[in-house]
Amino acid sequence: MSNQFGWNSSTAGLVQSSFFWGYALSQLPGGWLAKRFGGR
């Protein structure tokens, strides 16, 4: 994917780490909301 967008390894690492931290930090509020409101 980095070749497709013309990213170097530093930019690709920044994108991947940003995705990781965004995903990791959304787990706590997402779990709380799922517990509070439940499924359908």
Q: Which H or E element spans position 25?
A: helix 9-37
* 1-40 pLDDT, tens digit each: 888 999 999 999 999 999 999 999 999 999 999 999 987 7
Separation of alpha carbons 37 and 9, rounded Å: 41
Determine the pLDDT at residue 14.
96
**What residues have CB less than 8 Å from 39, skipping those under 6 apart?**
none
Residue 23 · residue 31 · CB < 8 Å: no
Q: Give residue 2's pLDDT.
A: 83
Q: pTM, whole model, 2 decimals?
A: 0.67
2 touches 9 (CB < 8 A):
yes
Q: What is the pLDDT of residue 24?
A: 96
pLDDT of residue 39: 78
